[in-house]
Structure 1
Amino acid sequence: MGFMTQTDTSAAPDSILSAGTPAPDFTLPATPDQTLTLSELRGNPVVLVFYPADWSSVCGDELAVFNQSLPLLSEYHAVLLGISVDSTWSHQAYRQSRKLEFDLLSDYHPKGEVSKLYGSYDEKSGSSKRSLFVIDGDGVISWSYLSPVAINPGVNGVLDALDELKKSAT
């Protein structure tokens, strides 16, 4: 783990989980009748994209960039998951309207429970903070980044972190 997060991981309320931390396991709805459990994805890297809300312009831009980057992410055998506090019904409509090719998980009830585990919940707005996590095949966070809510962080940091994971595995 020769690389650091780009996040202040002090005790400040803005801190998110940092590199070297075991990723908290969770099971969240991917559709109204299907769930996904993080630990079932072990063996491959997982990219978690926490975002504030479906239907917002910055979130739409951010998720579109990740959607366009799916071929690059697949080169690393990475699984991409979006997470927000919106309902599965909102996610379904949003995925269809934006033609997103990856799962959006609903952290709706109890509201923000998984976001809170990752330090990625904003109590004031009642939504997920805009944050990114790369989890290695063993379930350990290898990189994390907290972005200002109005800024699309893009995918470059994630790709760099996946590249570092690939180098350390060889």
Structure 2
Amino acid sequence: MLEAFSKAPDFTLIDQNGKKVTLSEFEAKKNVVLAFYPFDWSPVCSDQISFYNEMHSLFEKRDAIVIGISVDSMFCHTAFAENRKLTLPLLADFEPKGEVAREYGVYNNKEGHASRALFVIDKNRTIVQSYLSPDSENPGADGILEALDTMNKA
């Protein structure tokens, strides 16, 4: 797993609306929280991503965007986002399966999905915090908000 002070690898993936999203497009503009998660429709993932969506204004106040990434397809993300009324970008690390999760060191080869992991990335594309959570636990947002607050004070 990539650790703090590493340069976040750039990538381009498709979101639930078919739009290409590139990490470097946020450089010098926004702090980014990458939330890798196993699957759209699993109970813990659904709760975690919906929670981040509801907290949109708290992230925006900290000049940050949360981006969800799983190995699900764009079509799965579209249905999931519509069902849960999600507005945050959900990126499809679908083909080649898990390529971005592998670059970040959070692909679970045994299970065939991204592990539940968080990366808080500053506007210079430097990882300031990384956290690997058990797949069965929602990591919440306290650690993310604390990391963003610390970054904004610096």
Say yes or no: TM over 0.5.
yes
Please state whether the residue corresponding to 1:80 is helix, strand or coil: strand
C-alpha separation between the residues in 2 aligned to 1:167 and 1:88? 37
1:42 counterpart = 2:31: no
Tell me the amino acid that sits aligned with residue 96 of structure 1: E
**Residue 135 of structure 1, aligned match among 113, 118, 121:** 121
For the 8 Å contact 2:16–2:81, the answer to whether it is kept is no
Q: Which residue of 1 aligns with 2:7?
A: 22
Matched positions, count = 153
C-alpha separation between the residues in 2 aligned to 1:114 and 1:120? 9
- Deviation, structure 1 residue 64: 1.5
- The one-character-per-residue Cα deviations of 1:28-47 (angstroms, maximum 9, x if unpaired) are 01146421100011121001
1:114 counterpart = 2:114: no
1:105 counterpart = 2:72: no
TM-score normalized with structure 1 length:
0.88
- Deviation, structure 1 residue 118: 0.4
Tell me the amino acid that sits aligned with residue 19 of structure 1: A
**Residue 61 of structure 1, aligned match among 47, 52, 64:** 47
Kindly report the root-mean-square deviation, in angstroms, between the aligned alpha carbons of the 2 structures. Answer: 0.9
Which consecutive residues of structure 1, in runs of 5 or more, have no partner in the other structure?
A: 1-15
Change (3 A) 1:18 1:46: same
- The one-character-per-residue Cα deviations of 1:93-142 (angstroms, maximum 9, x if unpaired) are 00010111101000000000000000110001100000000000000000
Which consecutive residues of structure 2, in runs of 5 or more, have no partner in the other structure?
A: none
**Residue 37 of structure 2, aligned match among 33, 48, 51:** 51
Q: Which residue of 2 aligns with 1:164?
A: 150
